[in-house]
Structure 1
Amino acid sequence: MATIKDVLAAALAHHQAGRLAQAAAGYQAVLDTLPDHADALHLLGVVYLQAGHPPEAEPRIRAALRADATVADYHDNLGSALRALDRTAEAAEAHRAAIRLRPAFAQAHYNLGNALDRLGQLEEAADAYRQAAALRPGYARARFNLGNTLTALGRLGEADDAFRAALADDPEFGEAHANRASLMLQRGRAAEAERALRRALALRPDHATALANLSAALLALDAPADAERAARRAEFARPDFAEAALRRGDARQRRNRLAEAACAYARAAALCPDLAEAYANLALVRQTQGELDAAEAGYRRALALRPDLAEVRSNLAYLELFRPGVTLARVLEAHRGWDAVHGAPLRSEWAPRSPAVRHDARPLRVGILSGDFRRHPAGQFAVRAVEALPDFGVELTLYANQMEADDLTDRFRAAAARWVPVADRTDAELATLIRNDRLDALIDLAGHNARGRLGVFARKPAPVQVAWSGYMATTGLAAMDALVADAHHVPEGAERFYSERILRMPGAFIAYDPPPDAPEPGPPPCLTGQPVTFGVFNILTKLTDEVLSTWAALLVRVPESRLLLKTKALSCPKTAAQWRERLATAGIAPERLILAGATASREHMGWCARVDVALDPFPFAGSTTTLETLWMGVPVVTLPGETFSSRHSLAFLSVAGVEGCVARDPADYVDRAAGWAADPARLAELRRTLRPRMAAGPLCDGRRLAEALVKSLRDLTQGA
């Protein structure tokens, strides 16, 4: 005849083998004879818990504790049952009771970490996971959860160490490979992320999250076609996975397939209506396609779901610059709105002001933070002045928020005393690094644009902070002390609409570095027997209904003339078709249109040479596009307003000495453009003379700009 001990041992064997029904029957047989048998009560509760029935588990484990409250395992498993019942605070107390009874109980520390993590007590959760890992060598799961918690805390370097330790314990831990890859993506280390994701997928080929993240890694490595394939595989593995649709949209956007990207983002939003990123990315596509109202609605929807999305709020502020009738007051209000939400909470981290810097006492320690030390408008506007800064007593540190490099990157690096890659650092980590470098001044080249790090500047790690070249408005930040401008962009009397002190440079606020492979200007096309061609090279976001109607009036004024519209977004066939319809509605017939998409730099400059007269949009004027067309000897007709972003062409034309291009109103705009088109001799003279004038003048004079900038920085630091 079997004893109670024999029945319990047989039930435990079933339990350990995963035969839960047989185990439960055995434990119940013991309890039928001895209703207060503590081990049988506890183990029957564990069976119910493992079978997914925590309401049945809790009373049995509590009964075990009434029979014997000195067993740590009983308390720990009660905590697991309570956590499954969403009674997390009670669960944490149960795990603590287990630890009090057995301080070296690694599993109880681990389970306590899980409860604290769910309660949002992340620092305490991290401590619990560390205790668990220290008590049990090889406890990969504890190190894995520690990595996840440290990631949530923004301590990415420590998180990486934890994931690496988990993988050292268990190299086949697929989730650890996948989560470490997500971390690498956050830190801008796409190549490492790709390797980790491929390892995770080798272990589990249908891991939808890993496939979606592989798409993101490949996008960062500039392989959008491969990225799209990975996203498709993720969707196939899990058709309901919104993240996969989101990544497919990213890939299509990078390949300039904007309409298809919009469909993918819309699908992601439909699958997961609370996914703020889907609405934000869809809004960015709409903005790129020139649909301002749809873009604004998407950004606001994303912020309603996630008010902490600083980049989305930056996009919303930036969108204000494109609105017809925009005023400096509205621009300031929109940008101060960003600072109120994302900047104000960080003011406790501001560094105390350092002693004033005396003139000529020592080199001025200046840092520049940018993701565009490369062939990018911000880089092309800054490189010549940056190269000259050391000649005027500046010790230069460049904080590179980028992974790629090109010929301009090499020039920036050569100018710097220190080159510091920072793409993998959080805003808090980077602010600490910069604060420890004890700069006199820190310069921003991005503002609210892509790769901007306003979360760093909002912490004010340097006593003097200056915005320059990469953003075309006030930043709105209380932490930003000054804005580099000129008398054309910020005329006297406009200072009150900027949160920064205005530093007016002589000439222009930038020094243009033209593409080295630009072809020589030839004669205007209208002198070679072709119809007059008006050209536009600006993004679609700038092309408002008033702009289109003005251009339509110009084409009526100049019969047989054509309009060339070239911009990256028109590489998308569906977007190009939509714009043909929109232009036709505005009165511009399709047969008078030439549409072109993205090309390489030299080819693009050749396209600039195909036009007789360039047309500037309003209220957001061209900047790089204006300089490129001027470099090819082409006049740019512009209609400036009061905002910084509306006055680029005015400034560049004025500094370059090109007259007859600045209009007072749309009617005058048409008159001036038509006047240029009717004067081929004047067009030919400009083509012959403008490039050498620009090259020798202040518009390309980096040394002159650097000298003025250093003087302004020294004046600022003296008053710091």
Structure 2
Amino acid sequence: MRLQLDQAAAKARKLEKRGEFDAAAELYSQILGQFPQNRRIAAALEALIERTGNPPVETLKTLEAAYHRREHAAVAAAGRDLAARFPRSVTLCNIVGAAELALKDAAAAESSFRRALAIHPQNVDALSNLGVALKAQNRFSEALAAYEAAATFSPGHAGVLFNLANLLREAGRLREALTAFEDLARARPADAEPRFSVASILQETGRGPEAVEHGLKALAIDPGHARARALVIHQLGHLCDFDRLAAQRAHLDTLGIAGQAVEPFALIAIDDAPERCKARAENWARRFHVVADPFAGMAAPEPGERIRVGYFSADVHNHATMYLTLRLFERHDSERFAITLYSYGGKRDAAVDTRLAATPTRYRDVHALSDAEIVALARADGLDIAVDLNGYTKGARSGLFAARLAPVQINYLAFASTMGAPFIDYIVADPVLIPDSHRGYYTEAVITLPDSYQPTDETRPIAEDASSRRDHGLPETGTVFCAFNANHKIQPRDFAIWMRLLGAVEGSALWLLHSGDRAEANLMRAASAAGIDPARLVFAPRLPHLPHLARHRHADLFLDTFAYNAHTTASDALWAGLPLVTRIGEQFAARVAASILTAVGLPEMITRSDAEYEALALALARDPARLAALRAKLAAGKASAPLFDSRRYTRHLEAAYETAHKRRIDAKPPGPIRISPATR
């Protein structure tokens, strides 16, 4: 029945005066359903609810304080009890729904927010919260409608506009999200957060120089905005902007440790300090809601059952993680292990798909599923062990592990540090990466493999390459130093040594990966400042993986970076026959090349100081016979080196999985695991 606005409003006011509050609220809600833009009716309903529908203010404050203490289960239970006595309380519905969201029960939260909207259809908080609950269930179009409705009823509501912009970002609609955050930044010039969000999207879309400028604008508004500072530092590293990077180093002692958490990966390449890496990771891990162990008290698997291992990754495509692990998936013993690979990155690669399809690995593309749906699927699959192949790298979904995918959860391969998280039980390492003296820097129990922690693929062919040095822009004669690490790993300290080597070795060149025009200009400027002709820096274009391996033959010596070593890049160089010199550091990321060199049988290429690194590289460049002998030793030993023995490696990793699984069956907490070398 269509209502007459004035008559219906008068009737609602009469009901309110007679004390018939439920009937008045119901009629106001009906009027709003027909006349949603009528702010007078919306205000009347809101005032009625505030006056008659809520528990005492002190009761609400007690609930809110408990929520901020993260006592979410208690808040939800107490709120539901109160809601039975105060059925018209929109505030209670919102508090209960927020607690349910924190408990990762988005469906229950949705019901709570819809109850709030049944009482007050235009309540902006309920509409915005409903959008959050719908987004958590991957119902993006419905969430968008909820946010847009909230924005209609409260056009300048910053929280609503932030939620709307973030939803657009998570839906992959980055251009629209960027516009939304730019609008917010203009509307709220004293707020650093929208400016940081602009910088973050620019970083995500590869617009590094612009990301830096917007990050600096955020810092001009709020110098204590830690995430903006970490973004600026990380992007200046990518741009090899050593001068501006130097001005940020003073913040490293406390950045991400005291106060606001920062993405731990952002600072690894610049700060070889494992105690700070741990503190940053622990701070970041606090953002995740950790559930009580759902597997506690469950019956142990029957003896002899296959161990069910799930690998979780955003990088199941043409990516370094797959270059390293494809052979592992091919080698896993299907009689003892049931392997499932859960891909949530949304990318595919035909060559990777073909190789995976030929293995017993079960492949699950879960990128379109919510965290709750993936967790439910993993538990239905009955996983014994969940392996995180992302850690805190790009595309990570650490919330999956916080919700407990399996009784045993392992940080493996991609994130070269501790995750600092109570929901990660183990980290895979080796004696070089994490010696006993360094175990205090890791919150996980350490799995120590006997050779290197890194798997490799010894089936990759090194193609015949008829090209010449000149074809790659290199000098026909003279020493070619190669540094194919990602450019954000290159720090002023490393680069200064490289320039001194070029100065000391006549006719030599430094071969780097193409890293963007701005980064290349900065590196050439730094070379010139060091007295080196910038033309001696040669930038290699990106190539597919196998042709990239083949072109290593034109280099003489690989020069490693310090704080963040070559990882996949190191084993690639060695597989291609190129010797590598490294300087071992303190944190995990600074010790990987030493681990790899040990496993390939070239420990003499590991140095322990800047001076020793420089001296060894210079001695090798000046002694072609010594360098040739190293290449010959590498070539002769590759076939028997543990680094390139995927069968041996897989046996070691599987032994670690069996040990961790048995500890769980025996009701033992995670503890150090040391694997003995397999007999050949």
* Aligned match of 2:17: 66
* Aligned match of 1:556: 503
Name the stretch that deviates more: 656-665 or 239-248. Answer: 239-248
Matched, 1:319 2:264: no
User: In the aligned structure 1, how far is the partner of 2:414 from the partner of 2:524?
Assistant: 31
Cα displacement (A) at 1:687:
5.2
Structure 1 counterpart of 2:653, from 709, 713, 716: 709
* Aligned match of 1:537: 484
Is the contact made by 1:485 and 1:509 (CA closer than 8 Å) also made in structure 2? Answer: yes
Is the contact made by 1:637 and 1:662 (CA closer than 8 Å) also made in structure 2? Answer: yes
* Aligned match of 2:209: 259
Structure 2 counterpart of 1:371, from 302, 314, 320: 314
User: In the aligned structure 1, how far is the partner of 2:185 from the partner of 2:603?
Assistant: 61
User: In the aligned structure 1, how far is the partner of 2:344 from the partner of 2:165?
Assistant: 26
User: In the aligned structure 1, how far is the partner of 2:147 from the partner of 2:609?
Assistant: 63
Structure 1 counterpart of 2:236, from 251, 265, 286: 286
Cα displacement (A) at 1:436:
3.6
User: In the aligned structure 1, how far is the partner of 2:186 from the partner of 2:427?
Assistant: 49
Cα displacement (A) at 1:610:
3.6
* Aligned match of 2:384: 440
Is the contact made by 1:241 and 1:271 (CA closer than 8 Å) also made in structure 2? Answer: no
User: In the aligned structure 1, how far is the partner of 2:258 from the partner of 2:213?
Assistant: 22
Structure 1 residues 89 and 654, CA gap change in structure 2 (3 angstroms): farther
Is the contact made by 1:511 and 1:698 (CA closer than 8 Å) also made in structure 2? Answer: no
Q: How many residues align?
A: 596
Q: Which amino acid aligns with 1:375?
A: N
Structure 1 residues 129 and 413, CA gap change in structure 2 (3 angstroms): same
| CA deviation string 1:408-447 (max 9, x = no partner) | 2443354355322333444444334333433221212122
Q: Which amino acid aligns with 1:398?
A: L
Alignment partner of 1:641: what SS? coil
Cα displacement (A) at 1:394:
0.2
Cα displacement (A) at 1:586:
4.8
Structure 1 residues 518 and 574, CA gap change in structure 2 (3 angstroms): same
Cα displacement (A) at 1:403:
0.7
| CA deviation string 1:428-476 (max 9, x = no partner) | 4433433343322121212222223332223333222222211222222
Is the contact made by 1:634 and 1:683 (CA closer than 8 Å) also made in structure 2? Answer: no
User: In the aligned structure 2, how far is the partner of 1:238 from the partner of 1:485?
Assistant: 44
Structure 1 residues 158 and 246, CA gap change in structure 2 (3 angstroms): closer
Name the stretch that deviates more: 401-410 or 112-121. Answer: 112-121
Structure 1 residues 94 and 415, CA gap change in structure 2 (3 angstroms): farther
Q: Which amino acid aligns with 1:459?
A: A
Q: Which amino acid aligns with 1:706?
A: T
Matched, 1:342 2:342: no
Is the contact made by 2:412 and 2:427 (CA closer than 8 Å) also made in structure 1? Answer: yes
* Aligned match of 2:562: 618
Structure 1 residues 148 and 600, CA gap change in structure 2 (3 angstroms): farther
* Aligned match of 1:404: 347
Cα displacement (A) at 1:616:
0.6
Alignment partner of 2:608: what SS? coil
Cα displacement (A) at 1:390:
3.2
Alignment partner of 2:312: what SS? strand
Structure 1 residues 397 and 83, CA gap change in structure 2 (3 angstroms): same
Cα displacement (A) at 1:639:
0.8
1:134-213 map, 5 Å? 149-153=129-133, 156-157=136-137, 159=139, 175=148
Is the contact made by 1:380 and 1:512 (CA closer than 8 Å) also made in structure 2? Answer: yes
Cα displacement (A) at 1:635:
1.3
Structure 1 residues 120 and 302, CA gap change in structure 2 (3 angstroms): farther
Q: Which amino acid aligns with 1:91?
A: I
Is the contact made by 2:182 and 2:194 (CA closer than 8 Å) also made in structure 1? Answer: yes
User: In the aligned structure 1, how far is the partner of 2:374 from the partner of 2:583?
Assistant: 41
Q: Which amino acid aligns with 1:543?
A: I
User: In the aligned structure 2, how far is the partner of 1:174 from the partner of 1:150?
Assistant: 8
1:652-667 map, 5 Å? 652-658=596-602, 660-667=604-611
Q: Which amino acid aligns with 1:157?
A: Q
Alignment partner of 1:676: what SS? helix
Is the contact made by 2:458 and 2:646 (CA closer than 8 Å) also made in structure 1? Answer: no
Cα displacement (A) at 1:673:
0.9
Is the contact made by 2:134 and 2:140 (CA closer than 8 Å) also made in structure 1? Answer: no
* Aligned match of 1:593: 537
Structure 2 counterpart of 1:475, from 419, 431, 438: 419
Structure 1 residues 609 and 150, CA gap change in structure 2 (3 angstroms): farther
Cα displacement (A) at 1:530:
2.1
Structure 1 residues 514 and 275, CA gap change in structure 2 (3 angstroms): farther
| CA deviation string 1:199-237 (max 9, x = no partner) | xxxxxxxx99999977876678xxxxxx59x95799699
Alignment gaps of 5+ in structure 2? 33-38, 56-86, 101-107, 153-160, 665-680
Structure 1 residues 461 and 89, CA gap change in structure 2 (3 angstroms): farther
Structure 1 residues 657 and 120, CA gap change in structure 2 (3 angstroms): same
User: In the aligned structure 1, how far is the partner of 2:299 from the partner of 2:19?
Assistant: 68
Q: TM-score, length-normalised on structure 2?
A: 0.71
Structure 1 residues 66 and 468, CA gap change in structure 2 (3 angstroms): closer
User: In the aligned structure 1, how far is the partner of 2:557 from the partner of 2:173?
Assistant: 37
User: In the aligned structure 2, how far is the partner of 1:390 from the partner of 1:144?
Assistant: 55
Structure 1 residues 218 and 72, CA gap change in structure 2 (3 angstroms): closer
Alignment gaps of 5+ in structure 1? 1-11, 17-38, 47-60, 98-110, 167-172, 180-206, 221-226
* Aligned match of 1:195: none
Alignment partner of 1:153: what SS? helix
| CA deviation string 1:365-406 (max 9, x = no partner) | 111111122232222222212222134510112221211111
Q: CA RMSD in A?
A: 5.0
Q: Which amino acid aligns with 1:342?
A: R
Structure 1 residues 81 and 579, CA gap change in structure 2 (3 angstroms): farther
User: In the aligned structure 1, how far is the partner of 2:54 from the partner of 2:508?
Assistant: 81
Cα displacement (A) at 1:576:
2.6
Structure 1 counterpart of 2:402, from 454, 458, 461: 458
Which is richer in helix? 1
Structure 1 counterpart of 2:49, from 88, 91, 107: 91
Cα displacement (A) at 1:268:
7.3
Q: Which amino acid aligns with 2:282?
A: R
Q: Which amino acid aligns with 2:480?
A: T
* Aligned match of 1:362: 305
1:68-147 map, 5 Å? 72-73=23-24, 77=28, 84=43, 91-92=49-50, 121-122=97-98, 126-127=110-111, 130=114
User: In the aligned structure 2, how far is the partner of 1:216 from the partner of 1:125?
Assistant: 20
Cα displacement (A) at 1:601:
3.4
* Aligned match of 2:60: none
Structure 1 residues 695 and 214, CA gap change in structure 2 (3 angstroms): farther
User: In the aligned structure 2, how far is the partner of 1:134 from the partner of 1:342?
Assistant: 32
Q: Which amino acid aligns with 2:287?
A: H
User: In the aligned structure 2, how far is the partner of 1:299 from the partner of 1:496?
Assistant: 19
Q: Which has the larger radius of gyration?
A: 1
User: In the aligned structure 2, how far is the partner of 1:154 from the partner of 1:234?
Assistant: 21
Cα displacement (A) at 1:637:
0.9
User: In the aligned structure 2, how far is the partner of 1:245 from the partner of 1:685?
Assistant: 55
| CA deviation string 1:505-549 (max 9, x = no partner) | 232222213795754478996998423221212233333333233
Alignment partner of 1:405: what SS? coil
| CA deviation string 1:648-681 (max 9, x = no partner) | 2222222222364222322221221122212334
Structure 2 counterpart of 1:676, from 620, 625, 649: 620
Q: Which amino acid aligns with 2:212?
A: A
* Aligned match of 1:331: 277
